[in-house]
Structures are given as C-alpha cells and as structure tokens.
Structure 1
C-alpha cells in the first residue's frame, strides 16, 4: 500500500504537533517484527500522530524501517530525526465519533453570565456559574433543575 502524500505545509503542521509527543512504540534489536508493526498500527488508530524510537545505530536500517512502516500501515512519513520517526494517519471515523460522544456527556460546566446595570454606562458584572448535568441556565441568568423528559401516554399507562 502506498503511503499518504502530504503537502509541505501539512507536514510542517504535523511536525509542530509532534514536537511535544513522547515515543509510543520502540523498535528494539530484533528490528521490525510483526508485533512491532501491529503495535504501531494500534497506536496510529488511537492517536493518529505518533513517534517511534528505533534503537539501531545504522542509519540505512532506520530509513528502511521508516519507509516500511509508512508503506505497510498506509501512514504518512512526517519526520525522521536521528532515532526518532514521526508517522501520521487520520483517525478512523468511529474513533472520532466516540470522542465526540464523550464530550457530549452531561457534567459540570462553568458558564459566564453577564448582568447589565440598570444605569447606562456601567460595566456589566461577570459571574461564573457552575451548571451541573441535571441543571439548566434560564434566560434571566438563573440556574434551575432541568425539565423532566417527556414520556408518551402509552408508557404512562403501563
């Protein structure tokens, strides 16, 4: 499988994102084994952008490992500096949807409320309110319990 082709600008963005990352896959003395390829694939599925550390002193061997990983896993080679390899592959759609579902769960959140003065020319007062998962914020800036979920007439009878 050929690896993903990126523009230099895209590659630059991924290099900047990878700067603060730690290596998640280590390639030891046995080289590129099927277990290493499988772990790299799992890491790409989970993170999208990963660093791989190769414990080999031979630069040609590191370069071949870099190209093999990119080709076998359909990943874009981002950077090869010393013993560190940076690979990127877009996350699968299911993983992105799951991450969005996690963000949508109700929980405490801080909401800023502006209270304007009755007199003109005064600065509005900013209040930060904590709204829990079972609460809602009214138009007047007050916190109330959330409305109960409506049930159908058939469910109420049963």
Structure 2
C-alpha cells in the first residue's frame, strides 16, 4: 500500500509519461492485462488511457487492471490511469520512505 507522499512522488514522475496502452470499447481483457504486467515489470510506472468509445468508468477500469496485474493504482485523472509496481529485476524508482507517527 502506497502512502500519500509516495503517490504524490509517483504522480510527479508520471506527469511527463505518455500512455502506452489504450482501453477501447471492448474494455479490459486477459491479453491487455498480460501486456501491462510485462510492461510494468520493465518500466515500473505506466499510463493507460481510456478511449472515448469505452463506456466503462475509468476509475472502475483502473481498479480492475490494478487488481488483475498486481499493481498499485496511483491515480485516475480524467481518462488516464497511472499504475505502479516495483520491479523485481529492473528497479529504477526509489520511493520516499513511509514515515510512521
């Protein structure tokens, strides 16, 4: 589970990224999730865009993809979904430490 500080940091990193996957009118499927899992292992942080012809709610799609891929849902803004998952082999992003009170 990501803290607010970590999500803020990831959002700042994701700001300059372009979406590498699109969810269309067919919605999500196993094929899309498999490609997202492969990409997120390599990149750690990705954006997914939901096309206008998709009738599903982008927030629901974000939750669905995050659960299916084992990633963390960082943000859903408009029709753009930001996902993060720490890579096992290609760790590039160092998250801020979670502070406990």
TM bracket, shorter-chain basis: 0.7 to 0.9
**C-alpha displacement at 1:52, in angstroms?**
0.2
Q: Which has the higher strand share?
A: 1
Please, what TM-score do these two structures have when normalized by structure 1? 0.54
Q: Which residue of 2 aligns with 1:65?
A: 61
Q: Which residue of 1 aligns with 2:5?
A: 9
SS of alignment partner, residue 50 of structure 1:
strand
Q: Is the 8 A contact 2:26 2:54 kept in 1?
A: no
CA deviations on 1:15-37 (whole Å, 9 max, x unpaired) are: 00000000011112111011111
Q: Is the 8 A contact 2:22 2:50 kept in 1?
A: yes
Structure 1 residues without counterparts, runs of 5 or longer: 100-158
**C-alpha displacement at 1:60, in angstroms?**
5.3
**Which consecutive segments of 4 or more residues in structure 1 shift more than 2 A?**
56-61
Q: Is the 8 A contact 2:23 2:54 kept in 1?
A: no
The structure number with the bigger radius of gyration is 1
Which residues of 2 match residues 65-84 of structure 1 at below 5 A?
65-84=61-80
2:30 to 23, 29, 34: 34
1:88 to 84, 90, 98: 84
Distance 2:35 2:28 in 1: 11
